[in-house]
């Protein structure tokens, strides 16, 4: 192999190796599966398991029931169910929050 080819071949091999290592090191996580659950007064959507979302729905219905008993003169009927977003972890909430803040930060102020 002549000297000119060797000078070209080594940097090319190093660049290809770095590219492969970069691709392996930066794999993207699998996308979350989002599930919707409807209870009597709430619509819950989240990336937690369906079982966990149903547990949150049950707790929210219990919470609402306590408020209706504590404040019997208040109106608790709504024409549309309240939507609740359930995140499976703090980190998934953080990722969603960061994306939301970035989008809001780029909105033009009128």
Does 10 map to a domain?
A: no
pLDDT in tens, 33-84: 899 999 999 999 999 999 999 999 999 999 999 989 999 898 888 888 899 9
Task: Look at 68 and 107; give whichever has higher pLDDT.
Answer: 68
Tokens at residue 42, please?
Answer: 């709430």
Residue 45: name the closest of 87, 17, 95 by CA.
87
pLDDT attached to residue 74: 87
Domain count, the chain: 1
Domain holding 54, by residue range, is 35-89
Does 18 map to a domain?
A: no
Residue 96: pLDDT band (50, 70, 90) is confident
Handedness of CA 30, 97, 88, 83 (dihedral sign): negative
Phi and psi of 87, rounded to 5°? -100, 145
pLDDT attached to residue 91: 83
Does 56 map to a domain?
A: yes
Does 40 map to a domain?
A: yes
pLDDT in tens, 28-38: 455 778 999 99
Task: Look at 26 and 33; give whichever has higher pLDDT.
Answer: 33
Does 19 map to a domain?
A: no
Does 6 map to a domain?
A: no
Does 81 map to a domain?
A: yes
pLDDT attached to residue 41: 94
pLDDT attached to residue 101: 61
Does 65 map to a domain?
A: yes
Average pLDDT of 87-105? 72
Task: Look at 101 and 58; give whichever has higher pLDDT.
Answer: 58
Helices (H), the chain: 3-25, 50-70, 90-105
């Amino acid at each position: 192999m002549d000297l000119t080819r060797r000078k070209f071949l080594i940097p090319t091999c190093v660049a290809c190796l770095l590219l492969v290592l970069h691709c392996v090191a930066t794999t993207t996580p699998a996308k979350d599966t989002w599930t919707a659950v409807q209870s009597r007064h709430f619509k819950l959507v989240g990336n937690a398991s369906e079982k966990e979302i149903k547990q949150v729905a049950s707790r929210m219905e219990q919470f609402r029931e306590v408020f209706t008993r504590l404040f019997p003169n208040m109106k608790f009927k709504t024409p549309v169910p309240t939507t609740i977003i359930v995140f499976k972890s703090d980190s998934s909430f953080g990722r969603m929050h960061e994306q939301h803040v970035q989008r809001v930060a780029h909105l033009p102020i009128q």
